[in-house]
Amino acid sequence: MEEKTIVEQLSEELTYSPKHACRLVEESEVATADSFCEGYKEFLNICKTERECVRYIVDAAKEKGFTEYDYDKKYSAGDKVYRINRDKSVILAVFGKKPCKDGVRIAAAHIDSPRIDLKPSPLYEDEEMALFKTHYYGGIKKYQWTAIPLSLHGVIFKADGSRVDVNIGEKDDEPKFVITDLLPHLGEEQMKRTLAGGITGEELNIVVGSRPLTNDKGGDLVKLNILKLLNEKYGITEKDFVSAELEIVPSMPVSDIGFDRSLIGGYGHDDRVCAYPAAMAAFDADSPEYTCISVLTDKEETGSDGNTGLQSSYLKYFIEDIAKAEGSEGYRVLSKSSCLSADVNAAFDPTFSSVYEKKNTSFVNRGIVVTKYTGARGKAGTSDASAEFMSFVRNVFDSADVVWQHGELGKVDAGGGGTVAKYIANLDVDVVDVGVPVLSMHSPYEVVSKLDVYMAYKGFKAYFEHK
């Protein structure tokens, strides 16, 4: 071997820059990552709403020996429990060898994604076409949601209180839905609009039918035909839409992206790409030192408000319950606890490089990104992880050979955003954001790297297992 020059030697010892995971791990681990992602792809194909995620994860948890949390039961090290919050959020917990009063380890991810909800009275007819009125959910670029195949998911409660589950537009033989856009030939005025106004909220109308009930004269026969079909299929009437939660999502299946199959394209990576690894890490946590909790929450995309979002008390109440069961106080447990706020960050996009600051941005394939702070402008709305906690997390990942990088959300003053981190920090818990870098975030077809998905799992697992 040639001797290293002083420059080479000092560069190696003193400088730091995150590297492509392929340069850091064995080929066998790349294969492990690829196979881990096959499970993730299946999850992403099946789970397109928060309710579907809860159902899938609870079923998988039961198979792994988790039981529904019972306040009156005494739990011991290694016991595994879940608690469902209104079918839209779920807490998974594995009791540790140490008592909860020594603190618990929390991984918090969200299972809601940007989408298009139906309005309470959605169905109308205009010139013999039937359409749904919608109200979009979360931060979307509206123009991206036109002229793509869409599916309808959700629940409807009928007059007698009985529940109907809806999932249509995913299978090959099922009809799909679409939001139409204007042809370029007649789009001259529309093309003068800004990108933000290219399609407005009230233009996000879903085409659901176009044939009349009969050839009778009379108004709204196409609408009536749709109501008849809905009544036959689901037993519902128009009034039942008022007591429903119906979500329109992209119906394109998940695919590998690239000749090398290194990436995954699909809807809802934000934040199921962290929720799935966080759930798997809880499933694989066998008798950990500290009690491990994965909380998979709803409503992050609209600000974490509401009783299924993390601004509500449901996580705090669960921790109070497990604290009381061992004769401790919930607030004491929380004060000693820590949390990885598991959410995605914006991956560097070579096509739009001007919004990123390369030294402090995450890149696909460089592992999970640790985001010390989020927020906008002068860190407004951030919880900003302490240097002490950053040191702990760095040590957890390095000691378990987790490939990780640091990053913030774009250039200073380029925009900004937030996660659930600050709401958990408000409970007096040490928190930092850790997640997977995403390309085309919040679009109908987001892109992540397989190696990063696997490193998220490895990272959450290392955090749960760290002594």
Between residues 52 and 343, which has the closer beta carbon with respect to Mn ion?
A: 343
Cβ neighbours of residue 301 closer than 8 Å, sequence gap 6 or more = 110, 112, 113, 114, 137, 138, 139, 270
Least separation in angstroms between residue 300's CB and Mn ion is 6
User: How far is 382 from 425, CA to CA, in rounded Å?
Assistant: 10
Between residues 328 and 419, which has the closer beta carbon with respect to Mn ion?
A: 419
Between residues 226 and 281, which has the closer beta carbon with respect to Mn ion?
A: 281
The partner residues of 67 in beta bridges, in order of sequence, read 81
First to last CA, the chain: 39
Least separation in angstroms between residue 174's CB and Mn ion is 28
Between residues 225 and 371, which has the closer beta carbon with respect to Mn ion?
A: 371
Least separation in angstroms between residue 42's CB and Mn ion is 21
Contact 364, 347 (CB under 8 A): yes
| CA nearest to 270, candidates 36, 141, 453, 455 | 453
Contact 282, 58 (CB under 8 A): no
Contacts for 197-202: CB closer than 8 Å, 24+ residues apart = 198/142, 198/143, 199/142, 199/143, 199/145, 199/146, 200/142, 201/135, 201/136, 201/142, 202/133
Least separation in angstroms between residue 157's CB and Mn ion is 28
| CA nearest to 441, candidates 359, 372, 378, 369 | 369
Least separation in angstroms between residue 345's CB and Mn ion is 9
Least separation in angstroms between residue 438's CB and Mn ion is 9
Classified as helix, coil or strand, 432 is strand
Between residues 312 and 419, which has the closer beta carbon with respect to Mn ion?
A: 419
Contact 53, 275 (CB under 8 A): yes
Between residues 113 and 337, which has the closer beta carbon with respect to Mn ion?
A: 113
Of 227-235, 267-275, 284-292, 317-325, the segment contacting Mn ion by CB under 5 A is: 267-275
Of 27-35, 141-149, 263-271, 353-361, the segment contacting Mn ion by CB under 5 A is: 263-271
298 lines the binding site for Mn ion (CB under 5 A): no
Least separation in angstroms between residue 441's CB and Mn ion is 6
**Binding residues among 330-359 for Mn ion as defined by CB under 5 A:** 343
Number of residues that bind Mn ion (CB under 5 A): 3
Among 270, 408, 430, 452, binds Mn ion (CB under 5 A): 270
Q: Which residue is nearest to Mn ion (CB)?
A: 271
Q: How many CA atoms lie within 13 A of 347 on its CB side?
A: 25
Between residues 270 and 408, which has the closer beta carbon with respect to Mn ion?
A: 270
Between residues 124 and 373, which has the closer beta carbon with respect to Mn ion?
A: 373
Of 30-38, 262-270, 280-288, 345-353, the segment contacting Mn ion by CB under 5 A is: 262-270
Least separation in angstroms between residue 149's CB and Mn ion is 22
Contact 164, 234 (CB under 8 A): yes
| CA nearest to 249, candidates 434, 401, 370, 111 | 111
The letter for the amino acid at 368 is: I
The letter for the amino acid at 142 is: K
DSSP string, 341-367: EE--EEBP-GGGGGG--GGG-B-TTS-
Of 1-9, 158-166, 255-263, 266-274, the segment contacting Mn ion by CB under 5 A is: 266-274
Least separation in angstroms between residue 113's CB and Mn ion is 7
Of 171-179, 207-215, 270-278, 357-365, the segment contacting Mn ion by CB under 5 A is: 270-278
Between residues 285 and 347, which has the closer beta carbon with respect to Mn ion?
A: 347
Least separation in angstroms between residue 344's CB and Mn ion is 5
Of 3-11, 42-50, 59-67, 269-277, the segment contacting Mn ion by CB under 5 A is: 269-277
| CA angle (84, 87, 93) in 5-degree steps | 20
User: How far is 193 from 197, CA to CA, in rounded Å?
Assistant: 6
Between residues 230 and 346, which has the closer beta carbon with respect to Mn ion?
A: 346
Cβ neighbours of residue 353 closer than 8 Å, sequence gap 6 or more = none
271 lines the binding site for Mn ion (CB under 5 A): yes
Least separation in angstroms between residue 372's CB and Mn ion is 17
446 lines the binding site for Mn ion (CB under 5 A): no
**Contact track, Mn ion, 97-116, x by CB under 5 A:** --------------------
Q: Which residues bind Mn ion (CB under 5 A)?
A: 270-271, 343
